[in-house]
Amino acid sequence: MKRIPYIAGLVLASVLASCTSLGPEPAPVTGLESPAAPAAPALEVTVHEGDFAKILQFTTPGGASVWLVSEPSIPILSIEMAWKGGEAADPEGMEGLANAVVYNMNEGAGDLDSLAYQTRMEDLNMSFGCEASNDWTSCSASMLTENAADAMDLVALSFSEPRFDQGPFDRFLREQAVGLNTRETSPGYLAWRAQAQALYPDHPYARETSGDSLAALTPEAAKAQMRALMTKDRLLVTAVGAVTPEELAPMIDKAIAALPETSSLPVTPDIVLPATMPAEPIVVDLPQPQSLVQFAGRGLARDDPDFFAAYVLNYTYGGGGFSSRLMQTLRVEQGLTYGIYTGLNTGEHLLTWSGSGQTKNESAGDFVAGIRIEMQDLVDTGITAEELDDAKAYLTGSYPLGFDSNAKIAGQMMSVRQDEMGIDYFDRRNALVQAVTLEDVNRVAKEYLDPANSLFVVVGQPEGLN
Amino acid sequence: MKRILTAGLAALAVSGLAASAEDATWSPSTFTLDNGLQVVVVPDHRAPVVTHMVWYKVGAVDEKPGKSGIAHLFEHVMFQQTDTLAPGEFDAIVSRNGGQSNAFTSWDYTAYFERVAKPQLGTMMDLEADRMRNLVINDDPEGPFISERDVVKEERRQRIDNNPGVILQEQVLSEIWKGHPYEITVIGKMEEVAALTPEDGMSFYREYYSPENAILVVAGDVTDEEVRALAEEHYGKIPASGTAHGQRKWQNVPLLTETRTLTHSDPKVRQPSWSRYYSGLSRFRTPREANALDVGLQVLGGGMTSRLYQSLVEDQQVAISANAYAYSDLHDEGPAILSASPAPGVSMDDLEAAFVAQLDKILAEGFTDEEVVRARNQLAATAIYARDSQSSMAETFGSTLALGGTIEDVLSYPDEVKSITTEEAIAAVRTVFGADRHYIEALLLPADGAE
């Protein structure tokens, strides 16, 4: 694979600039056509000229670490911000607090109440919103280049003077109260809960909102938690759009100026999966004609030496759509399902290799048996050399498809940053796939796939499960 | 997920269209091969990737009585076998080339696509051209046609039968389109799908699958000249079949003549919802009126700043959601819909009374120029944001042309929607939701005894 981590001249300029950042040199060349504002101080920009994206890496004067892909052909700008720390940091008994934080981030700031804030976003034809997962708090903004400065001013107002008004806060609580009811008939939620209770009942990941935890939430607590979650030292920024580093840096600095430097968050322990999984599927009754079948076993971390062997195996197992064995057998040959998929889940503290599919209740037993048979076959005989070649051909050949839009590139860069894969990851990745051997794959199959020791959860009214 | 139906039961949601025609760096083009295949090229040079789509001018609307679901089941069958490709080889070849392929069926069209790195474009054309001409349908009673029928039955359970809200929606749409081919959902009736035969598939193929009844769309890192040369090479050699008559079964949808209420109670429903489906418009048939309706609906119930949301959710706090929207992107007229879900402790009767009172008040008062300008600018801006996605741009051009529209229709959308006046926007919603209009009211309720 071609790999051009740096263009020599530019890198030299950047290194020089970084040695004497306040020196008299002109701003380093960034390869962009429009020059910086004349009075702007030199920004140290390192250019990573990769196969899939040319990433401009810099730290703003205000301290934000930014990866930017400057893409002039469409007059829009997408910015993503992320901080490590999310729902798992909710205090015990205040589950839902991180969600209250992110819900309120576009519900009023400064002189603008919720309606005025939302109206201002519409006037600017922009969007801004935040979300929380177990371990991350993220915000994203999309705007038109022509009024990007105004749009970022509004984002800045949310970070500096968020209102957390009682009105929107109460609306959040009403929506959450409805959610407590509707989740009880949601197959995906019921499967998640059954799995969490079976695998890690005492871990923060298994905690969920309740009537009591919602009653404990207040706007003041949410505002304090916002300051704990969104700090300068943990901030990661990625951006793609028609903008130069010199144009973007001051906008980001203005946005983050009021964020605390740091905070302390509770440490989330890693989950150790039980050595023995329940022998029989866990059934959650739900009156519907089709059953959701979800299954999970041990997984691997992104930095595990066997990760790519597992990743390649997963394609043949159940990740490769029509090319996967589960899809071939259970859909194409047996007509038991519309689709079945598997994937490696590499959370910060939970590693699983899981899959799911749906089948009519009458065939649930055959479906579960069929999954186990395919798993056992991979353990016993592994995949063929041809299957390995097919997997590598697809996984490497399709990689460019993930880089054909601004939004995809911004998201890909953020994933690499969150997983700490390094700025040259995009260019190394296909070689890592190619380096996987048949021996690696078949060893990993034996080591990780175990039909007799996988958790099966079935939601519906399944028949034929023994 | 593979082999998808467009947006489940419904048509495509109103999607962003294209950016301004003044954008000199962006110039989609079209030409037609001698065999009648229309070709559209949508350049986007940001990444060395292309989206290759073939749209056939046939959909569920064209199915014969008793054969509902054939358009969609046939779309599945298109992945199975040709004179030279064994079952499964199509997918295998696309995957080995690093490609992703998929297809979808709506009432109005059927589309197949592959997304690949640019050097593989010719191979993808070869595959699509092959199955345009040389499809084989195995008639073994135990064979792949039959197992694919079972797959579609599972697809129907997954999309519709497992979801109380969609079960109700299917019933309501059947009422609003009674007597029109749209009255049957795209995936078809379970018992009719179960009775479809390989012979049904073959006669459908002969009647509709031919270059003169198709549109090729290539979006991505290509030029007009490159696509022209490749299309001539791969598709140009296919003769027009002569059996594709090109007749569609579209017809006007008459206004509802009676108001009805449909109720679906289900133990899985834990949050009730209320909606009314009115006779709406088609952007293809009456573009100006449909755009005016979109602007009016945006002001009325298009988001958090809308009139209905601010009154019912924010001020009165009787609803947890309140919306107004329409299916205007079908060839024939689709419904305009009002919907809401009650806040905890609010009865459906009280919710409906509050909704209707507020609607009447808004329709009587009219809109301000300021909110109409904001709404139409938002709709126009979606066209700019939509350009970020190569595949959705390909879909926008393909679907517009498959309905009989033009590239110019796509390019002029932002200007057209920005020219809608306040008077036109309020007139559109006053007409569609007028006191003289009938509607289908739909109530989704918990089963008796459920929480």
A206, B151, B296, B298, B304 from B378: Cα distances, Å:
40, 40, 12, 9, 13
* Interface contact flag, B147 A335, Cβ < 8 Å: yes
Taking residue B74's Cβ as centre, other Cβ atoms within 10 Å add up to: 26
**Which tens digit of pLDDT belongs to each residue from B214-264?**
999 999 999 999 999 999 999 999 999 888 888 999 999 999 999 999 999
Pull the structure tokens for residue A157.
């107002």
From chain B, the residues in CB contact with A115 under 8 A are 304-305, 310, 314
Averaged pLDDT of chain B: 92
Nearest CA to CA, how far is B80 from chain A (Å)? Answer: 10
Q: Which of residues 402-461 of A touch B (CB under 8 A)?
A: 403-407
From chain A, the residues in CB contact with B88 under 8 A are 322, 328, 332
**Which tens digit of pLDDT belongs to each residue from A71-127?**
998 999 999 999 999 999 999 999 999 999 999 999 999 999 999 999 999 999 999
Q: Say which residues have a Cβ less than 8 Å from residue B182's Cβ, sequence separation at least 6.
A: B60, B61, B107, B173, B253, B330, B332, B334
**A136-144 vs B29-32, strand pairing mode:** unpaired
Interface test with B, best of A338, A386, A389, A395 (most B CBs within 10 A): A338
Identify the CA nearest to A371 among candidates A250, A457, A312, A283: A457
From chain A, the residues in CB contact with B144 under 8 A are 332
* Interface contact flag, A405 B389, Cβ < 8 Å: yes
Pull the structure tokens for residue A164.
């957390």
Annotation marks residue B333 as catalytic:
no
Task: Say whether B158 sits in a helix, a strand or coil.
Answer: helix
**If 0-12 CB within 10 Å is exposed, 13-18 middle and 19+ buried, where does residue A173 land?**
middle
**Which tens digit of pLDDT belongs to each residue from A227-262?**
999 999 999 999 999 999 999 999 999 999 999 999
Tell me which H or E stretch contains A157.
helix A148-160
Taking residue B104's Cβ as centre, other Cβ atoms within 10 Å add up to: 20
Q: Where are the alpha helices (DSSP H) in A237-306?
A: 245-256
**Which tens digit of pLDDT belongs to each residue from A258-283?**
999 999 999 999 999 999 999 999 99
* Interface contact flag, A73 B45, Cβ < 8 Å: yes
Taking residue B258's Cβ as centre, other Cβ atoms within 10 Å add up to: 8
Number of H helices, E strands in chain A: 16, 12
**Which tens digit of pLDDT belongs to each residue from A298-334?**
999 999 999 999 999 999 999 988 889 999 999 999 9
Nearest CA in chain A to B51: A401
CB A311 within 8 A of CB A433: yes
**Which tens digit of pLDDT belongs to each residue from A37-74?**
445 568 999 999 999 999 999 999 999 999 999 999 89
B206 and chain A: CB distance < 8 Å anywhere? no
DSSP conformational letter for A399: G
A261, B74, B222 from A256: Cα distances, Å:
10, 55, 41
CB-closest option in A122, A184, A185 to B374: A122
Following DSSP, what letter does each residue of A43-86 receive, concatenated?
P-EEEEE-SS-EEEEEE-TTS-EEEEEE-TTSSEEEEEEEEE--
Whether A3 shows a pLDDT value over 70: the answer reads no
* B406-412 long-range contacts, CB within 8 A, separation 24+: B407/B28, B407/B29, B407/B30, B407/B40, B408/B21, B409/B287, B410/B17, B410/B18, B410/B28, B411/B18, B411/B19, B411/B20, B411/B21, B411/B28, B412/B21
> For B336, what's the count of Cα atoms within 13 Å in the CB-facing half-sphere?
31
* Interface contact flag, A73 B149, Cβ < 8 Å: no
Identify the CA nearest to B160 among candidates A286, A172, A295, A290: A290
Report the distance separating Cα A298 and Cα A290, nearest Å: 27
**A65-70 vs A235-241, strand pairing mode:** parallel
B404 and chain A: CB distance < 8 Å anywhere? no
pLDDT band at B2 (very low <50, low <70, confident <90, very high): very low
Mean pLDDT of B313-321: 98
Report the distance separating Cα B446 and Cα A211, nearest Å: 21
Cα-Cα end-to-end distance for chain B:
33
